[in-house]
């Protein structure tokens, strides 16, 4: 029997976690599969634990398994603990405690994983302070190229993966970009389903939308470091050169590039063509 596990870390999510968990508990599952939803309460100080207890008491709550960190460990360590707790599963579904899975998600992504893909995302609907459908890349080469910029080729909470990806795990603080680059460098196959199976909540508390300058600066430093490591491994270049490329890309993203940066980015385009045979104009980032 194939085992499937949905993995959801949660930190002070009492206001949203019921809808998130219920949306995964009520998913249709392919016949012959054992399915459970694992939620890790990462040291919450609100009523997250009480909400989970109420869901567990319901008849369909038999699919729910709740774990707890006594102290807050953070997202990446929590996701790794969830993978360890579901170590006998073949397929793993990422889920955040403030999003909503749409009907058919499990079936669609299991079908794609069964077809031989190692990591499968989907399109998503934004809701909250932003709305609209977001579309993501389908071909592996598109992911390889876009990962030289950032994690824009996937929406991480809409991702499912197999045990090969689970063995890689979350090695970096910025779990979505770090996992993507590690998976690509391992030569694994990645894709997205061109249909939305997740409602992705965009709110001012999201780190990517935070008005806290210190948090944003820390996030961007982590992005730069992951990007530099990826460029070094992908292109076979030294770390200092990779860091220079990464810094130039960062300034270009935020429209703060200098004429000298554009010359450096042209050099990066030449290296990508030489190494991968792909034409990429980094001036248009």
Question: What per-residue confidence (pLDDT) applies to 212?
Answer: 72
What CA–CA distance (Å, rounded) separates 280 from 31? 44
Residue 3 pLDDT more than 80?
yes
211-252 pLDDT per residue, tens:
578 878 888 999 999 999 999 999 999 999 999 999 999 999
pLDDT of 16 above 70: yes
Tokens of 240: 């200092």
pLDDT of residue 205: 59
Residue 210 is predicted with a pLDDT of: 47
**Strand 100-101, strand 132-134: pairing:** unpaired
Whole-model pTM: value is 0.93
- What does the alpha-carbon distance between residue 69 and residue 42 come to, in Å, rounded to a whole number? 5
């Amino acid at each position: 029997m194939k085992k499937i596990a949905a993995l959801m870390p949660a930190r002070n999510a009492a206001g949203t976690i019921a809808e998130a968990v219920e949306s995964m508990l009520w998913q249709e599952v392919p016949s012959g599969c054992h399915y459970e939803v694992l939620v890790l309460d990462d040291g919450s100080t609100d009523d997250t634990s009480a909400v989970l207890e109420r869901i567990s008491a319901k008849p369909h709550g038999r699919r729910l398994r709740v774990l707890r960190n006594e102290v807050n460990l953070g997202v990446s360590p929590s996701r790794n603990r969830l993978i360890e707790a579901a170590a006998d599963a073949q397929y793993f579904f990422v889920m955040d405690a403030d999003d909503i899975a749409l009907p058919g998600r499990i079936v669609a992504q299991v079908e794609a994983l069964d077809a031989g893909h190692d990591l499968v995302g989907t399109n998503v609907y934004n809701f909250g302070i932003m709305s609209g459908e977001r579309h993501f890349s389908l071909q592996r080469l598109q992911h390889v190229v876009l990962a030289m910029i950032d994690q824009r080729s996937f929406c991480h909470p809409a991702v499912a993966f197999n045990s090969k990806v689970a063995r890689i795990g979350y090695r970096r603080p910025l779990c979505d970009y770090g996992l993507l680059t590690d998976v690509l460098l391992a030569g694994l196959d990645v894709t997205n389903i061109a249909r939305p199976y997740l409602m992705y909540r965009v709110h001012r508390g999201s780190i990517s939308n935070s008005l806290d300058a210190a948090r944003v600066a820390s996030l961007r430093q982590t992005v730069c470091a992951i990007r530099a490591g990826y460029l070094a491994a992908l292109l076979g270049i030294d770390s200092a050169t990779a860091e220079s490329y990464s810094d130039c890309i960062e300034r270009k993203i935020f429209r703060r590039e200098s004429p000298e940066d554009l010359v450096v980015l042209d050099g990066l385009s030449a290296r990508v063509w030489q190494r991968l045979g792909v034409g990429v104009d980094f001036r248009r980032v």
